[in-house]
Structure 1
Amino acid sequence: MVSAVYHDYSSFNDAKDFVGVFQNFDKLDLSFIEKLWGTYYYYMNNDIFATGLLIFATHEIMYFGRCLPWLIIDQIPAFRKYKIQETKMPSNKEQWECFKSVLKSHLLVEALPIWFFHPICDKLGVGLTVPFPSWTTIAFNLAVFFVLEDAWHYWLHRGLHYGVFYKYIHKQHHRYAAPFGLAAEYAHPIEVMLLGFGTVGIPIVYCYITGNLHLFTINLWVVLRLFQAIDAHSGYEFPWSLHHFLPFWAGADHHDEHHHHFIGSYASSFRWWDFVLDTEAGPEAKKKRELKMKQKAEKLN
């Protein structure tokens, strides 16, 4: 079996190790990342297994790797002034229990479906080959995914706060009223699958409609989505936090209010759904709603 990552191997030497394969790709007019990508798939010699391993490894390394700085920050008193709920620091025991639960979910809920991902991508025409699409195309795809996932997350998340759905599914995620990085994917298996569709399913549907998407873009999207989710659960608000520069970006202060008050601020990446539909959480949002109601009542009188 020869990988479909490149269209012409006629100039390649018969390399057996990773370095030798890389030297073959190094002869091509490709970027360093493209050469690594091509080398990996050619060396693995099984695109289905290579894609499954890549996505699983990317998810695990990026998730726990991004959580690590927040674990360290939690141990440094100098950062305490940036803690949104400064009196509610997660204990080491809570962090450890959360870590075990999340890892168990990754292995039992997420690991198996990953191995079906490549056949689906192949069926729908998700690109695998090098060179990659242009960076403008990749950036456009990522922007579309962020907007669509945010809409999916808002409505599904809001629905999970309804009665029986909250009691039996979403309540698990609200165990921590003051969230921390590791808690980003601490959730009921059903919630993991439902919200996970926004991350994995949306690119698949997008490719089905447009017929134009690359697997590298999906991997990059997964990385950025993990960073966003973990940072939103970090529990810290800094002067350099992204929403200070992009006012429509949600960030930790937006999502922390949701965990603190258990309702409102349902969106993941952006603030516009909560703003337009008046579902922002927290005392400030409540004051604004009361003021609007008062002004409306005064106009009627």
Structure 2
Amino acid sequence: MDTVMSNSTLLTTPETYMGIYNELSKYNVHLNIFERLWASWYAYMQNDVLATGIMSFAMHEIVYFGRSLPWIIIDRIPYFNKYKIQAQKIPTAEEQWACAKVVLLSHFTVELPQIWLFHPMAKSLGMETGVPFPAWTTMAIQIAVFFVLEDAWHYWMHRAMHWGPLYRSIHKIHHQYSAPFGLAAEYASPIEVMILGAGTVGAPILWVMITGNLHILTMYLWIVCRLAQAIDAHSGYEFPWSLHHFLPFWAGADHHDTHHEKFIGNYASSFRWWDFVLDTESGADAAQKRRERKDAKAGKKVQ
């Protein structure tokens, strides 16, 4: 069984990044190329907090804006209008740019400090940052658990933020766009970013506190999946190949787009079960089912 190597003990005299990579590769043939690149980065930086902070923030920005870019392009191509859920509300370039500026400001003022503090907090709780990486099956299982935990947190916090005072003071900003688009996934007040973000970060933290078994790479992959899910849910597009057609319990864009259009219901982030069980589904079909249940109940009372 391979032993896990800490990032700070791989090399003692770092020079250039590629020089470190080549030297490390000579003596660590059991590591794959990604593990060597990872270890070389930490050895090159000689400061694990700085290395994690830069990598985490760069990953977040690249994934967020990189995943949003296809939706920006699709919004400019008329062919895709037939898949737009609210076809009459295509965001303008000015709206996209205004949204991007607010999101960027939030990333640097709200999220960057939290990202910078993440490494020391994670290490203190037992999160591993060295190599080799855990098995992909281990990471997949953990990410699946994180999706379920985050979805529960998101449902209750999001539902609470639709209570009058909280909606007016916190959540109303996010509902500026009744027809959402990808970039608007993190268009929200700083308080909301922190509250809902606590579910994304809190699920892995809770997991490592209980099990003592979590690698920061799993955390990164989880963040990538969660960002992609949030951006896709705000995309405003419903395709025949959308995931919820194959996984009926998956929320998807049609679920969240209806929430923005109706301003109520469909509070969960990734799955549909909380809204189904607690009868908070939104939209015409859900309203019709409620009327039918109400009529059926009234009919029984008459009898």
TM-score (norm 1): 0.95
- The offset of 1:203, in angstroms, is 0.9
The equivalent residue for 2:264 is 263
The equivalent residue for 1:20 is 19
Distance in 2, matches of 1:66 and 1:108, equals: 22
Matched letter for residue 252 of structure 2? G
Matched letter for residue 245 of structure 1? F
8 A contact 2:8–2:42 mirrored in 1? no
8 A contact 2:146–2:203 mirrored in 1? yes
8 A contact 1:4–1:47 mirrored in 2? no
Matched letter for residue 98 of structure 1? C
**Structure 2 unaligned runs (5+)?**
none
Relative to 1, partners in 2 of residues 1:91 and 1:45: Cα closer, same or farther, differing over 3 Å? same
Please report the RMSD computed on the Cα atoms of aligned residues, expressed in angstroms. 1.4
Distance in 2, matches of 1:141 and 1:5, equals: 23
The equivalent residue for 2:6 is 4
More displaced, 216-225 or 31-40? 31-40
More displaced, 27-36 or 181-190? 27-36
Distance in 2, matches of 1:70 and 1:54, equals: 25
Distance in 2, matches of 1:6 and 1:224, equals: 29
- What are the superposed Cα offsets for residues 96-130 of structure 1, whole Å, 9 maximum, x if unpaired? 11000000011111111221111111111100111
- What are the superposed Cα offsets for residues 226-276 of structure 1, whole Å, 9 maximum, x if unpaired? 000000000000111111111110000000000000000000000000011
- The offset of 1:66, in angstroms, is 0.6
More displaced, 288-297 or 12-21? 12-21
Q: Alignment partner of 1:138: what SS? A: helix
- What are the superposed Cα offsets for residues 180-217 of structure 1, whole Å, 9 maximum, x if unpaired? 00000000110000000011122112211211111010
- The offset of 1:13, in angstroms, is 9.1
Matched letter for residue 255 of structure 1? H
Matched letter for residue 187 of structure 2? Y
The equivalent residue for 1:163 is 164
8 A contact 1:52–1:115 mirrored in 2? yes
Matched letter for residue 48 of structure 2? D
- The offset of 1:297, in angstroms, is 2.3
8 A contact 2:249–2:272 mirrored in 1? yes
Distance in 2, matches of 1:271 and 1:292, equals: 20
Distance in 2, matches of 1:6 and 1:217, equals: 20
Distance in 2, matches of 1:119 and 1:220, equals: 19
- The offset of 1:19, in angstroms, is 1.2
Q: Alignment partner of 2:7: what SS? A: coil
8 A contact 2:14–2:43 mirrored in 1? no
- The offset of 1:295, in angstroms, is 1.8
- What are the superposed Cα offsets for residues 31-84 of structure 1, whole Å, 9 maximum, x if unpaired? 222222111111111101111111111111100111100000000000110000
- The offset of 1:24, in angstroms, is 3.0
Give the paired residue count: 296
Distance in 2, matches of 1:53 and 1:15, equals: 18
8 A contact 1:102–1:185 mirrored in 2? yes
8 A contact 1:6–1:130 mirrored in 2? no
Distance in 1, matches of 2:75 and 2:256, equals: 18
Distance in 1, matches of 2:138 and 2:234, equals: 30
The equivalent residue for 1:290 is 291
Distance in 1, matches of 2:227 and 2:188, equals: 15
Distance in 1, matches of 2:233 and 2:148, equals: 16
- The offset of 1:18, in angstroms, is 1.3
Match runs of 1:121-160 below 5 Å: 121-160=122-161
- The offset of 1:298, in angstroms, is 2.2
